[in-house]
């Protein structure tokens, strides 16, 4: 009896051990095949885990609220032929779907959008046409050109014409300093620019627009060296300690923008700016009087927002467009052709937010604060480049307003 008991115990041990071994092996294999399939996915099925890697000008409002992304849900917003492409000699490139809607957002981001709609911080009261008015790409280009007045605050605008401001604003109109150019580049700050090797291509443009504190030093290979215009949000100018010290800002033409209450005029906005950047602006101007440094007219972002709302089939965030979208509009008015890098996400999607910072800032996903999703829909609609360029280079190519016939 004792003998059989021992036998039983022994076989139990063996069975348990075998079971354990089998589970271990199975787990290892699963891990391996998971990584393999991930590689396959990136290579062949082009699963873009995160869509909006645009990180231009996210105001702090977005940082706290925008920290979720769901790869599977996000990839639903991508279009393109699904399934096997083996029988197809033409490679297909799965890129941004211009019909993306808030339904493509994960529930949490949908809720944030609803919260912004309820909050309506900027007192938006849109009375224009839409939502969901359809324009051909050509018609939309003309519409944007005529509806969005890209211009800067001038020394004759009250209260900038008072003694407090004497000598601070640039004397020349921006058009005498900027352009007209033939080929321009708008370079986002997206983490997916890392290892893109796009530097040379970007530098090949007549003018390059960058955002906020995006550096070129140490990243030339990927983002180039040239900075012709730097568009900054007022938050940076107000709160970034290095703004007055860092040589990064001393190159090119500077433009700062600040969100106003919906369609405020300049005097009203001046009394109630989102960030009171005026003192730092003046300090910078004293230190660098020779560098052109403009203040974007506060009406411009809302003029652009109105068009975005009109063409989007649902209510968009009642917050100003992203710096990215503003920069694109600025270049469209100054150039014959505008190449936009990593605004529509490429295959190099990454969870790293900025190419120059090693952290995951979730403010740069689908745009909880800015109506990024709808901006991307519009840029995809206006894009004249091939999907291949978007997929491989993150590049969208838009004809500028200078040469269009309306």
Chain residues that interact with ligand NAG, rule: CB under 6 A:
149, 151, 158, 161-162, 297
| 186 vs 331: CA distance, rounded Å | 8
* β-pair type (335-341, 207-211): unpaired
Q: Alpha-carbon torsion 290, 295, 300, 304, what sign?
A: positive
Least distance CB 100 / ligand NAG (angstroms): 31
Q: How far is the CB of 161 from ligand NAG (least distance, A)?
A: 4
Residues forming beta bridges with residue 34, ordered by sequence position: none
Q: How far is the CB of 149 from ligand NAG (least distance, A)?
A: 4
Going by the DSSP 8-state scheme, the letter that residue 331 receives in this structure is H
What CA–CA distance (Å, rounded) separates 244 from 63? 24
* Closer by beta carbon to ligand NAG, 24 or else 155: 155
Cβ atoms within 10 Å of 342's Cβ, excluding its own: 32
Burial class (CB in 10 A: 0-12, 13-18, 19+), 290: exposed
Shortest distance in whole angstroms from residue 159 CB to ligand NAG: 7
Residues 199/220, Cβ–Cβ less than 8 Å = yes
Q: Quick check: 311 and 135 in contact, CB under 8 A?
A: yes
Minimum CB distance to ligand NAG, residue 136 (Å): 22
Peptide bond into 131 cis (omega under 30): yes
CB of 265: closest distance to ligand NAG in angstroms? Answer: 10
* Strand ranges for 263-309 from DSSP E: 293-295
Tell me how far, at minimum, the Cβ of 194 lies from ligand NAG, in Å.
38
Contacts of 377 (CB under 8 A, 6+ apart): 96, 98, 99, 100, 312
Q: How far is the CB of 368 from ligand NAG (least distance, A)?
A: 31
For ligand NAG, the closer CB: 183 or 282: 282
Q: Give the torsion sign (CA, 130, 131, 133, 138).
A: positive
C-alpha 115/C-alpha 290 separation (Å) is 44
Whole-angstrom Cα distance, residue 108 to residue 98? Answer: 22
Q: Measuring CA to CA, which residue among 394, 355, 356, 371 is closest to residue 322?
A: 371
């Amino acid at each position: 009896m004792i003998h059989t008991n021992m036998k039983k115990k022994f076989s139990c041990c063996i069975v348990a051990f075998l079971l354990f071994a089998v589970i271990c092996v199975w787990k290892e294999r699963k891990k391996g095949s998971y990584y393999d399939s991930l590689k396959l996915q990136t290579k062949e099925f082009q699963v873009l885990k995160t869509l909006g890697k645009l990180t231009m000008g996210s105001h702090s409002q977005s940082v706290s609220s925008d920290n979720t992304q769901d790869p599977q849900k996000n990839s639903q917003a991508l279009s393109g032929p699904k399934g096997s492409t083996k029988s197809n000699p033409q490679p297909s490139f799965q890129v941004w779907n211009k019909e993306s809607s808030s339904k493509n957002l994960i529930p949490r981001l949908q809720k944030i959008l609803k919260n912004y709609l309820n909050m309506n911080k900027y007192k938006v009261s849109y009375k224009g046409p839409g939502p969901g008015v359809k324009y051909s790409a050509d018609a939309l280009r003309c519409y944007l050109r005529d509806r969005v007045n890209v211009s800067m605050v001038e020394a004759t605008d009250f209260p900038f014409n008072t003694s407090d401001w004497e000598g601070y604003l640039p004397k020349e109109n921006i058009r005498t300093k900027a352009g007209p150019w033939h080929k321009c580049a708008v370079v986002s700050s997206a983490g997916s620019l890392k290892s893109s090797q796009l530097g040379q291509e970007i530098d090949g443009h007549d003018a390059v627009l960058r955002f906020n504190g995006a550096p070129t030093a140490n990243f030339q290979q990927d983002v180039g060296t040239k900075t012709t215009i730097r568009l900054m949000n007022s938050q940076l100018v107000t709160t970034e300690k290095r703004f007055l010290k860092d040589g990064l800002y001393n190159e090119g033409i500077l433009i700062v923008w600040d969100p106003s209450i919906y369609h405020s005029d300049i005097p009203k906005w001046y009394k109630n700016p989102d960030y009171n950047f005026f003192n730092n602006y003046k300090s910078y101007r004293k230190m660098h009087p020779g560098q052109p440094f403009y203040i974007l007219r506060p009406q411009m972002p809302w003029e652009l927002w109105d068009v975005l709302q009109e063409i989007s089939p649902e209510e968009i965030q009642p917050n100003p467009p992203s710096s990215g979208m503003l920069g694109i509009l600025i270049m469209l008015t100054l150039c014959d052709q505008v190449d936009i890098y990593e605004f529509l996400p490429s295959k190099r999607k990454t969870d790293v937010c900025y190419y120059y910072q090693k952290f995951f800032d979730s403010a740069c996903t689908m745009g909880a604060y800015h109506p990024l999703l709808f901006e991307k829909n519009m840029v995809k609609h206006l894009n004249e480049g091939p999907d291949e360029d978007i997929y491989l280079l993150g590049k969208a190519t838009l004809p500028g307003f200078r040469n269009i016939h309306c």
